[in-house]
Amino acid sequence: MTAPDNLIDGRALAAQIQGELTERIAALKARGVQPGLAFVRVGEDPASRVYVGRKEKTSAALGILSETHVLPETIAEAELLALLARLNADPRLHGILVQAPLPRQIRQEVVYATVAPEKDVDGFHPMNVGKLMLGDPTGFKPCTPAGILELLKRAQVKTDGAEVVVLGRGNIVGKPMAAMLCQKARGANATVTICHSATRDIPAHCRRADILIVAMGVAEFVKADMVRPGAVVIDVGVNRVPDATAKSGSRLVGDVAFAAVQPLAGRITPNPGGVGPMTIAMLMQNTVRAAEQAIAR
C-alpha cells in the first residue's frame, strides 16, 4: 500500500506565504520603509552557516534589507551583548536573530533577553515566550512551531480536538509547539502530549497520535510501528548520518524513517522540503510585522 500524494509540500506553502508578504513589503516601501533584519552568527557551526545563508537569500529575494554579523567562536559574552545593544538601537533594523547554538561561554538566556522584544523576530525573549503562554497575539512566536501550525492550517489538517504528540521538549520547537497547540483558539485546541528522554513508553504515546510532531534530533527515530495508520506526521529533524555511498561521506535524514512511514501516514512532511521552508517564511512574516509595528508606534 503506497500513498504517493500524501506529502505536505512545505516549499509550495512557504512560497504562497512569501507571495502574500511581497504586497505588505511593497506597502511599507511606499511609505519609505524597507524591512530590515540583522543576523548574528557566532563561530563556524556548519549547519548554522547553511541556515543563516538560506535566511539571507530569502530576505534578499523579498526585498528585506539584511546584514550578517559573524563573531569568532571565542567571543566574550559582553561583546555579543554590546553588538545587540547597537542593533537594538539601529532604526534601519526591525528584526534581530541570533542563530543557536551558541558557544558555552555565552549564556543563551542572557543573550535572548537582551534582544529588544519588539525586534525579537525569533520569539525567544522571555516577554514573547510569556505572551505565547498567555495566548496574547501581540508577541512574536518562534518560527519553527509557528511554521508547523501554519502548515497544518494551509494543508487543512484539523487540530481542534485532535490528539497531538510532540516528541522533544526543547525551547526552540517542542515546548512552544505544545503551548501553541493547546491554546483555546481556532487552528489550535488540541490535546497535547510532550514526550522526552524520561518518557516511559514513547512508542505507545506515538501510536495514539492523530498528529505526530517529531523534534528530538535523533536520526530516523520514528519507525512504522510507532505511527497509527492515517496519522499526520511532521518531521522537524535534521541529522547528518554517515553514508559511504555519498560523495561527502554523509547525508541528511530526519527524525522519521521516511520510506517506512510514508505509506501508512495520512499526510507527511518531506524532509527536506517540509518544515524548513516554513520556518524561514515565518521569520520573514515576523520581520514584516515588526516593521509594520515600528511605523505604527
CB of 150 to ligand GUN, least distance (A): 14
Residue with cell 547597537: 86
Nearest CB to ligand GUN, comparing residues 99 and 271: 99
Nearest CB to ligand GUN, comparing residues 38 and 291: 38
Return the C-alpha cell found at 83: 553588538
Return the C-alpha cell found at 231: 496519522
In contact, 264 and 4? CB cutoff 8 Å: no
The yes or no reply on residue 122 touching ligand GUN (CB under 6 A) is yes
Number of chain positions touching ligand GUN (CB under 6 A): 9
Active-site residue identified among 18, 99, 262, 285: 99
Q: Residue 214: which of 240, 229, 201, 195 has the closest Cα?
A: 195
CB of 245 to ligand GUN, least distance (A): 28
The yes or no reply on residue 172 touching ligand GUN (CB under 6 A) is yes
For ligand GUN, which residue of 144, 262, 285, 287 counts as binding (CB under 6 A)?
144
Q: Rounded CA gap, 44 and 50, in Å?
A: 10
Nearest CB to ligand GUN, comparing residues 49 and 207: 49
Task: Please say if 247 is a catalytic residue.
Answer: no
The yes or no reply on residue 159 touching ligand GUN (CB under 6 A) is no
In contact, 164 and 210? CB cutoff 8 Å: yes
Nearest CB to ligand GUN, comparing residues 99 and 285: 99
Task: Please say if 223 is a catalytic residue.
Answer: no
Nearest CB to ligand GUN, comparing residues 187 and 217: 217
Active-site residue identified among 18, 119, 120, 122: 122
Active-site residue identified among 55, 119, 131, 175: 55
CB of 213 to ligand GUN, least distance (A): 15
CB of 142 to ligand GUN, least distance (A): 6
Q: What are the backbone angles phi and psi of residue 166, rounded to the nearest 5°?
A: -105, 125
Task: Please say if 158 is a catalytic residue.
Answer: no
Residues of span 78-117 touching ligand GUN by CB under 6 A: 97-100
CB of 260 to ligand GUN, least distance (A): 26
For ligand GUN, which residue of 21, 42, 143, 211 counts as binding (CB under 6 A)?
143
Q: Residue 48: which of 103, 95, 86 has the closest Cα?
A: 103
In contact, 276 and 10? CB cutoff 8 Å: yes
Do you find a cis peptide bond into 145, omega within 30 degrees of 0? no
- Strand ranges (DSSP E) for 144-231? 163-167, 191-195, 211-214
The yes or no reply on residue 59 touching ligand GUN (CB under 6 A) is no
Nearest CB to ligand GUN, comparing residues 254 and 267: 254
Strand partners, 133: none
Three-state SS for 240? strand
Question: Could you say which DSSP state residue 7 is in?
Answer: B
Shortest-Cβ-distance residue relative to ligand GUN: 100
CB of 98 to ligand GUN, least distance (A): 6
Do you find a cis peptide bond into 126, omega within 30 degrees of 0? no
Q: Residue 112: which of 144, 102, 174, 135 has the closest Cα?
A: 102
Q: Rounded CA gap, 223 and 261, in Å?
A: 6
Which residues in this chain contact ligand GUN in the complex, by CB under 6 A? Answer: 97-100, 122, 143-144, 172, 279
List the catalytic residues.
55, 99, 122
